């Protein structure tokens, strides 16, 4: 969703083995790492009920997973996401959310044929920082496709469809281990990075980490773990916490994240911190013991997750952006199934001020194919 430089604040290639299989016993040792992601948009002054209906067409964009939509001050919504081929970064824009579905799509960067950034181009996010555009994404060497790390592109042109996307390099965390799903935000004048990474010697696939940033492509350290898979619903298929994203509302920061394997068990969890707390202190964050957004057989949406937030065209209504599949059963590796579609729906807040995401809405009758 939009960040400080966008709008004012309000108070995962066919064929390879499963995404995280080779984490166990193959990752190097090291020290600690992590960071949350914050979404900016206008915020309701008081907690509001969840809107009863969504005006949006779903799915919004087919065959695009890990979606990221940001509304910039130029009036455009910018969209990027993971493509099923895992080989490029794409970008769309529209003055309306529904318009993104039919907007022309440009390829702004392609995977290298060999070497670093040659495979598994996953989960891009585009952010406006200090007058420049930055894209954070995960990639692996073409010759070692599961050695996935976080990389950064920069474009100084005001129009992200123009200019040159410069490769700023890899974000160096405390360990040389499987890492992905980076997002960035500012809070009280400090910029943070939040991401998912495997911690050496720990029996999980990924936890969510947080760190302050020296610049848009470097961490200052220290890095702290905010959440690790511990509940049953976070450990189905794989022990995963990934895809963090932050929403600032009602005097708090809400960090969503995704858990379990990327099939129908995929779901969203929630961390909460007071906006005047020390975000680098894990004790500042409270974790929901239950998932906050899950598959729904009635609406026939499965594996909702890897979300972000944006704001509706009215500049006030909060919008949840996520991917899901329209069926439960998958043949083979879920990562080889291309039908994770980008979806959007409005949401409100419970009486206690926490987000009320409801359930994934059903496909819109007559939606584009």
Q: What is the pLDDT of residue 368?
A: 56
| pLDDT confidence band for 366 (50 / 70 / 90) | confident
Contact 136, 161 (CB under 8 A): no
**pLDDT tens track for 283-313:** 999 999 999 999 999 999 999 999 999 999 9
In whole angstroms, give the CA distance from residue 298 to residue 276.
40
Is the model's pLDDT at 45 over the cut of 50? no
Among 173, 165, 214, CA closest to 196:
173
Q: What is the pLDDT of residue 346?
A: 97
Span 68-97, average pLDDT: 98
Span 329-347, average pLDDT: 97
In whole angstroms, give the CA distance from residue 27 to residue 352.
41
Is the model's pLDDT at 22 over the cut of 70? no
| pLDDT confidence band for 97 (50 / 70 / 90) | very high
Contact 211, 219 (CB under 8 A): yes
Give the SS3 label for residue 21.
Answer: helix
**Tell me, which fold does domain 65-356 have in CATH?**
Tachylectin-2; Chain A (2.115.10)
Q: What is the pLDDT of residue 221?
A: 82
Is the model's pLDDT at 200 over the cut of 50? yes
Task: Select the more confidently predicted residue: 365 or 278.
Answer: 278
Span 258-281, average pLDDT: 98
In whole angstroms, give the CA distance from residue 90 to residue 110.
9
Among 270, 347, 189, 252, CA closest to 10:
252
> Can you list the alpha helix ranges (DSSP code H) found in the chain?
none
In 10 A of CB 132, how many CB atoms?
17
Span 254-258, average pLDDT: 98
In whole angstroms, give the CA distance from residue 91 to residue 26.
34
Is the model's pLDDT at 6 over the cut of 50? no
- State the catalytic residues: 66, 242
In whole angstroms, give the CA distance from residue 326 to residue 37.
28
pTM value is: 0.87
Is the model's pLDDT at 1 over the cut of 60? no
Is the model's pLDDT at 70 over the cut of 50? yes
Listing DSSP states for 281-300 in one string gives SGGG-EE-SS-SB--BTTTT
Among 44, 59, 104, 130, CA closest to 314:
44
Per-domain residue ranges of the chain:
65-356
In whole angstroms, give the CA distance from residue 349 to residue 270.
14
In whole angstroms, give the CA distance from residue 54 to residue 88.
31
**pLDDT tens track for 114-141:** 999 999 999 999 999 999 999 999 999 9
Give me 105's structure tokens: 């799509």
Q: Which residues pair with 94 in a beta bridge?
A: 77
| Phi and psi angles of residue 289, each rounded to the nearest 5 degrees, phi first | -75, -5
In whole angstroms, give the CA distance from residue 97 to residue 67.
13
Q: What is the pLDDT of residue 23?
A: 37
Task: Select the more confidently predicted residue: 70 or 20.
Answer: 70
């Amino acid at each position: 969703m939009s960040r400080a430089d966008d709008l004012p604040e309000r108070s995962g290639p066919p064929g390879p083995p499963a995404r995280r299989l080779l984490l166990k016993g193959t990752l190097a040792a090291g020290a600690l790492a992590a960071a949350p992601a914050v979404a900016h948009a206008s915020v309701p002054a008081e907690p509001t009920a969840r809107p009863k209906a969504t005006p949006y067409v779903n799915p919004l964009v087919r065959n695009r997973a890990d979606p990221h939509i940001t509304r910039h001050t130029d009036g455009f919504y910018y969209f990027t996401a993971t493509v099923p081929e895992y080989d490029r970064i794409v970008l769309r824009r529209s003055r309306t959310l529904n318009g993104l579905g039919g907007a022309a799509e440009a390829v702004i960067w392609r995977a290298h044929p060999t070497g670093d950034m040659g495979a598994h181009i996953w989960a891009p996010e585009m952010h406006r920082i200090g007058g420049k555009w930055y894209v954070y994404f995960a990639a692996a060497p073409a010759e070692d496709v599961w050695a996935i790390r976080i990389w950064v592109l920069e474009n100084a042109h005001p129009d992200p469809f123009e200019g040159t996307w410069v490769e700023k390099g890899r974000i160096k965390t405390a360990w040389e281990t499987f890492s992905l799903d980076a997002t960035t935000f500012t809070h009280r004048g400090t910029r943070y990075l939040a991401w998912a990474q495997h911690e050496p010697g720990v029996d999980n696939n990924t936890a969510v980490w947080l760190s302050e940033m020296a610049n848009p492509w470097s961490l200052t350290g220290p890095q702290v773990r905010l959440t690790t898979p511990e509940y049953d619903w976070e450990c189905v298929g794989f022990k995963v916490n990934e895809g963090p994203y932050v929403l600032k509302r009602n005097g708090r920061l809400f960090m969503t994240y995704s858990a379990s394997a990327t099939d129908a068990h995929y779901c969203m969890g929630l961390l909460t911190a007071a906006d005047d707390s020390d975000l680098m202190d894990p004790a500042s964050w409270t974790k929901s013991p239950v998932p906050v957004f899950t598959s729904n057989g009635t609406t026939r949406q499965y594996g909702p997750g890897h979300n972000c937030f944006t704001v509706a065209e009215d500049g006030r209504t909060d919008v949840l952006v996520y991917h899901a599949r329209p069926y439960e059963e998958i043949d083979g590796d879920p990562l080889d199934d291309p039908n994770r579609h980008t979806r959007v729906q409005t949401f409100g807040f419970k009486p206690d001020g926490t987000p009320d995401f409801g359930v994934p809405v059903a496909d819109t009758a007559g939606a584009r194919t």
